[in-house]
Amino acid sequence: MEYFVQQLINGLTLGSIYGLIAIGYTMVFGIIGMVNFAHGDVFMISAFIALILLILLTQFLGVTSIGLALLIVLVAGMFLTALWSWVIERIAYRPLAGSFRLAPLISAIGMAIFLLNFVQVTQGPRNKASPSILNNVMTIPMGNGSVTISERQALIFIVTAILLLAFWAIVQKTKLGRAQRACEQDRRMAALLGINVDRTISLTFVIGGALASVAGLMFMSYYGVVSFSDGFTPGVKAFTAAVLGGIGSLPGAVIGGLLIGLIETMWSAYFSIDYKDVAAFSILAIVLIFMPSGLLGRPDVEKV
Amino acid sequence: MDTTDGGTPVSDGALPSPRFPIEDALRSAGLWALVTLGLCFPIVAFETLQDFSNRLTIEARPLLVLFAVAAVFAGRLGWLAVRYHGLPQLLPATRFELTPERKKQLPRIGLAALLIFPFFALLLTGQGGAVKWIDNFGVQILIYVMLAWGLNIVVGLAGLLDLGYVAFYAVGAYAYALIATYVIPATVPGLGPWAFWICLPIAGILAAFWGILLGFPVLRLRGDYLAIVTLAFGEIIRLVLINWVEVTNGNAGIRTPYITFFGLPFSSRTGETTFGDVFALPGSPAVHRSMFLYYTILALALLVAVATQRLRRLPIGRAWEAMREDEIACRSLGINTVNTKLTAFAIGAMFGGLAGAFFGARQGFVNPRSFEFMESATILAIVVLGGMGSLVGVAIAAVAVIGGIELLRELSFLKQIFGPEFDPGQYRMLIFGLAMVLMMIWRPRGLVGARQPTIALDGNAKAISASHVKEGHG
C-alpha cells in the first residue's frame, strides 16, 4: 500500500511536468492547428537555461539562499524561454501561414533538429549533472512503512498549482484570454472583429514557452541531470498527454499530463522499466486511433 | 522578424525613394541584435563544464556572443539594404527553367552519370581514395534515394504522411541480420555466402507485412494525427529492438556477413577464393566490394523508380493520386480506400525493407542507433524538398541533402581557422535543420513544384502548379 502511494506521489510529480509542457502543445494546436514539434526542444533549452542560471547565481554571484536563487531562475528562465518560443514562431511558423498543410510540420521538425544540435554544439554532448538542491525529505508514516515526499516534489506540486491557477485566470478573465479563445473558435471571424490574430498567436507561443520553462527547471532539479537529447521523449509524452486529454482543451492537457505521469510511473514500478517509453508511445497510438478527440476534446467533424 | 521592417521593397510602378532609410534599418537591425543577445545570454554566453572535482561549473564566452550579435546586426542591415535596392534578382534567376525536351532527357543524363560514376571516381582518386567516394558518397546517397523514392509512394503519391518510415528500414536490416547470422547457419550452413540474396526478398516481404500490420490501425487517421501515430510506431519498433536483448542483442547490435558477389566473397580471412581472384582483377577487395555495392543499390533504387512509374499508370496508382487529392470524393466514387491505403503502406514499406537488408549487408553490422527518428525526418525532408511525387526532384534532393551532409565532414580545413577543437561534423545537423526551415519558407513545394497529371482527357496534359493541389489532407 505505501509502495503504491509512493508511486502515486512520484507519478503525479512527473505528471505535473508533462502537464506544463502539454499546455504548450494544446494551445498551439487549438489556435493554429499545427503540432509544434519543436516544443519539446524548447523545453530542453529551458532546462539548460535554468541549469546555467542556477550555477551562475549560486557559484558566482553569491546568492546563498536557495529559495531566492530558484525564484530568480524561475522568472528569468520564463522570460528567456518565452523569447526563444517567440522567435521560433516568427522565423519558422509565421511565414508559412497560408502555405500548404505539411509545411509548418516540416518546418517544425527542422526547427527541432536545429535546436537539438544548437545545444549540442554550444554545450557539448555530455550529460550535465545539476547541483543537487532541496534534498530534504518529509517522511509520512503509513501502514507498516512510510511514504517520503522530497522538498523538490513538494515544490513542483505547489508551483504547478499556482501557475495553472494564474494561467487559468489569464485565459478566462483577461482580454488576451478572450482574444485567444476567439481565435481558437474562428480565426477569420476574430480578425474581422478587430482582434490582432498574429499578436494573439505570438502570445500563445510566449505563454507556452514560459510554462515549458517551468517544466524545464523542474525536470532539471527532479532528475538532477540534463542532456541535449532530453527534449524528444518528454516532448512526445507531453504531446501524448495533450492528445489523451483532448487536444485543444486546457484542463484536458493537465489531466492528460497527470495520467501519463501516473501510467509511466506505475508501469515502471509494477511491470518493466525498460519498456516504459514503449508504454507511452503505445498509449499515444491507441488514443489517437480509438478516441482521437481525447477525454475532454471536441469531436472533429469531417466537413465535405 | 519585427513589425517595423526598415526597408520597404521597391515594387513595380512605385517611385523608388531617393535615400535608403538608414535610421529605420538601423533600428530594425538593432532590435534583431538585441533579440540575439537575449537568445544567446545563457546558452551561448556560458559553457557548462565539469571541474577537477567533477562538479559542474561554467565558463564565460563573451567573444562568441559579441560575434553572434554583430553578425546578426550586420546581416540584417545588409539584407535590408540589398532588399531596398532591389539588387538580388538572384533568387528568381537561379530558378532554372528547362524546356520540355530537356526535361525528358534529364533522367537519361542522370542515369548515364550514375552508371559511370564509380569508374570516374576510381580514375580521379585512385585505389586509395575511391572507396571513400564510392561508398561514403555514392552508396550512401543511393540508399537515401531508394528510401526517399519508397517513401515517395506513401507520401507523394498516396498523400499519407508517414513519420515512422525508418521502422521498415529497421525491419529489413534486422530481418537480414537475424536470418543471416542465426537462421541460415543453424539450418543450411552451405547457403552462408548466399545470405544476402536469400534475405533480400524475405526482408521485402516481411517489411510489407509490417506495413500492412501498422497500416490497419491508422486507416481512419489523417494529416498530423497520422504523422504522429506513425512516429509512435517507429519509436516503438526501435525501443523494442533496444530492449529485446535476447534476440536483437540490444544496443550492442549484431555483426552480419558482408555482401557477396552471388556467393563469391570479396575478401576472405580463411583463404577462400575471392571475387578478385576469380576474375583476376587488379586493385583491393575494398574497391571491388564498394563498386559492387554501388551497382547493387543502383539497381535496387532503379527498381523502385520503375515500379513507381508503372504503378502510376495502373488503377491502383491512379487511386493513390485520387486519394491524395480528395479522399472523400474518392470514397464517394466507389474506390476502396482501405485497400488503396494498405497497398501504399505495403509497397512503400517493402522498398524500405529491401533498402534495410542492403544496409545490413553493406555495414556488416546493425544496431538500433541507425534507426532513430532523425532518419525518418531526413527521408521525409528529402521527399518534401524534392517536391512530393517527383522522382527526379526527390533524387536531386537526396544528392543535395546527403551529399551536403557528407561534404560537411570534409571541411577539415576549417580547423585551421577555428582551432583544432573545431569539429565541422557537429554542424552538419545544425545546418540541415536550419535548411529545412528555410526551404519551407522559400519553396514549400520543393524543387519540382509542378507536376504532370498522369492522365488527361485531350491527351495534352498541362502541368498543374502544386499550389492547386492539397496533399496532406488524406
The alpha carbon of residue A92 is apart from the nearest alpha carbon of chain B, in Å, by 6
Nearest CA in chain B to A121: B426
Highest mean pLDDT among A284-288, B169-173, B411-415: B169-173
- As a whole number, mean pLDDT of residues B261-278 equals 72
- For the record, the C-alpha cell of B173 comes out as 536490416
Report chain B's mean pLDDT, rounded to a whole number: 80
Tell me, yes or no, if A299 comes closer than 8 A to chain B by beta carbon: no
Q: What is the pLDDT of residue B5?
A: 45
Within this chain, do residues B79 and B123 fall inside the same structural domain, yes or no?
no
- For the record, the C-alpha cell of B47 comes out as 559553457
d(CA B296, CA A292): 43
Residue B347 has pLDDT above 90, yes or no: yes
Looking at per-residue confidence, does B171 or B400 come out higher?
B171
CB atoms within 10 A of CB A282: 17
In a domain, B347, yes or no: yes
The residue with cell 518528454 is A234
- As a whole number, mean pLDDT of residues B405-431 equals 70
Q: Which domain holds residue A38?
A: 2-228
In a domain, A206, yes or no: yes
Within this chain, do residues B48 and B185 fall inside the same structural domain, yes or no?
no
Residue A47 has pLDDT above 80, yes or no: yes
Say whether B48 and A117 touch across the interface (CB within 8 A): no
pLDDT level of residue B10 (50, 70, 90 thresholds): very low
Within this chain, do residues B278 and B366 fall inside the same structural domain, yes or no?
yes
In a domain, A164, yes or no: yes
Within this chain, do residues B288 and B364 fall inside the same structural domain, yes or no?
yes
Within this chain, do residues B267 and B404 fall inside the same structural domain, yes or no?
yes
| Window from A71-85, A202-216, B35-49, B169-183 with minimum mean pLDDT | B35-49
pLDDT level of residue A39 (50, 70, 90 thresholds): very high
Residue A257 has pLDDT above 50, yes or no: yes
Q: What is the pLDDT of residue B412?
A: 63
- As a whole number, mean pLDDT of residues A116-127 equals 87
In a domain, B180, yes or no: yes
Least CB-CB distance to B433: which of A34, A84, A117?
A: A117
Residue A218 has pLDDT above 80, yes or no: yes
d(CA B353, CA B194): 18
pLDDT level of residue B458 (50, 70, 90 thresholds): low
Residue B450 has pLDDT above 70, yes or no: no
Q: How many domains are there within chain A?
A: 1
Residue A272: φ, ψ to 5°? -150, 130
d(CA B206, CA B283): 37
Q: What is the pLDDT of residue B1?
A: 42
Q: What is the pLDDT of residue B452?
A: 54
pLDDT level of residue B449 (50, 70, 90 thresholds): low
pLDDT level of residue B358 (50, 70, 90 thresholds): very high
Say whether A100 and B55 touch across the interface (CB within 8 A): no
Domain closes at, from B89, B115, B131: B89
- As a whole number, mean pLDDT of residues A86-109 equals 86
pLDDT level of residue B207 (50, 70, 90 thresholds): very high
| Window from B151-155, B158-162, B343-347 with minimum mean pLDDT | B158-162
Within this chain, do residues B75 and B202 fall inside the same structural domain, yes or no?
no
d(CA A219, CA B222): 33
| Window from A124-128, A174-178, A251-255 with minimum mean pLDDT | A124-128
CB pairs under 8 A between A and B: 183
Q: What is the pLDDT of residues A234-250, one digit of tens each?
A: 998 999 899 888 888 88
DSSP string, chain A: -HHHHHHHHHHHHHHHHHHHHHHHHHHHHHHH----TTHHHHHHHHHHHHHHHHHIIIIIS----HHHHHHHHHHHHHHHHHHHHHHHIIIIIGGGTTS-THHHHHHHHHHHHHHHHHHHHHH-SS-EEPPP----EEEEEETTEEEEEEHHHHHHHHHHHHHHHHHHHHHHHSHHHHHHHHHHH-HHHHHHTT--HHHHHHHHHHHHHHHHHHHHHHHHHHHSEE-TTTTHHHHHHHHHHHHHH-TT-HHHHHHHHHHHHHHHHHHHHHT-STTHHHHHHHHHHHHHHH-TTTTTPPP-----
Q: Are B157 and B321 in contact (CB under 8 A)?
A: yes
In a domain, B150, yes or no: yes
| Window from B84-88, B153-157, B306-310 with minimum mean pLDDT | B84-88
pLDDT level of residue B460 (50, 70, 90 thresholds): low
Q: Which of residues 117-136 of A touch B (CB under 8 A)?
A: 117-124, 126, 128-131
Highest mean pLDDT among A290-294, B197-201, B267-271: B197-201
Q: Which of residues 43-102 of B touch A (CB under 8 A)?
A: 43-44, 46-48, 50, 55-58
Measured between beta carbons, the chain B residues lying within 8 angstroms of A100 are 444-445, 466-467, 470-472
In a domain, A187, yes or no: yes
Within this chain, do residues B139 and B78 fall inside the same structural domain, yes or no?
no
Q: Which of residues 184-213 of A touch B (CB under 8 A)?
A: none
The alpha carbon of residue A142 is apart from the nearest alpha carbon of chain B, in Å, by 36
pTM here?
0.85
Least CB-CB distance to B42: which of A80, A236, A292?
A: A80
Within this chain, do residues B76 and B204 fall inside the same structural domain, yes or no?
no
Residue B4 has pLDDT above 50, yes or no: no
Tell me, yes or no, if B373 comes closer than 8 A to chain A by beta carbon: yes
Q: What is the pLDDT of residue B173?
A: 94
Q: What percent of chain B has pLDDT over 70?
A: 82
Within this chain, do residues B60 and B123 fall inside the same structural domain, yes or no?
no
Residue B345 has pLDDT above 50, yes or no: yes
pLDDT level of residue A213 (50, 70, 90 thresholds): very high
Within this chain, do residues B384 and B310 fall inside the same structural domain, yes or no?
yes
Q: What is the pLDDT of residue B210?
A: 94
pLDDT level of residue B441 (50, 70, 90 thresholds): confident
Q: How many domains are there within chain B?
A: 2
Looking at per-residue confidence, does A140 or B203 come out higher?
B203
Report DSSP state, residue B132. Answer: I
Q: Mutate which of A34, A100, A275 to disrupt the B interface (most B C-beta within 10 Å)? A: A100
The alpha carbon of residue B444 is apart from the nearest alpha carbon of chain A, in Å, by 6
| Window from B157-171, B203-217, B253-267 with minimum mean pLDDT | B253-267
Measured between beta carbons, the chain A residues lying within 8 angstroms of B439 are 110
| Window from B172-181, B319-328, B338-347 with minimum mean pLDDT | B319-328
In a domain, B182, yes or no: yes
- As a whole number, mean pLDDT of residues B398-403 equals 87
Within this chain, do residues B193 and B222 fall inside the same structural domain, yes or no?
yes
In a domain, B460, yes or no: yes
Within this chain, do residues B63 and B209 fall inside the same structural domain, yes or no?
no
CA dihedral B254, B255, B260, B264 (to 10 degrees): -130
Tell me, yes or no, if B429 comes closer than 8 A to chain A by beta carbon: yes
- As a whole number, mean pLDDT of residues A67-90 equals 92
pLDDT level of residue A88 (50, 70, 90 thresholds): very high
d(CA B415, CA B379): 30
Report chain A's mean pLDDT, rounded to a whole number: 87
The residue with cell 534567376 is B93
Q: What is the pLDDT of residue A16?
A: 92
Measured between beta carbons, the chain A residues lying within 8 angstroms of B228 are 35, 239, 243, 284, 288
pLDDT level of residue B387 (50, 70, 90 thresholds): confident
Residue A40 has pLDDT above 90, yes or no: yes
For residue A145, the cross-strand partners are A142
Q: Which domain holds residue B37?
A: 22-89
Say whether A117 and B225 touch across the interface (CB within 8 A): no
In a domain, A97, yes or no: yes
In a domain, B63, yes or no: yes
In a domain, B9, yes or no: no
Q: Are B387 and B393 in contact (CB under 8 A)?
A: yes
- As a whole number, mean pLDDT of residues B242-249 equals 88
| Window from A11-25, B16-30, B195-209, B229-243 with minimum mean pLDDT | B16-30
Q: What is the pLDDT of residues A144-179, one digit of tens each?
A: 778 888 888 888 888 888 988 888 888 888 888 888
In a domain, B390, yes or no: yes
Q: What is the pLDDT of residues B282-300, one digit of tens each?
A: 777 778 888 888 999 999 9
Q: Mutate which of A37, A80, A111, A289 to disrupt the B interface (most B C-beta within 10 Å)? A: A289
Say whether B437 and A114 touch across the interface (CB within 8 A): yes
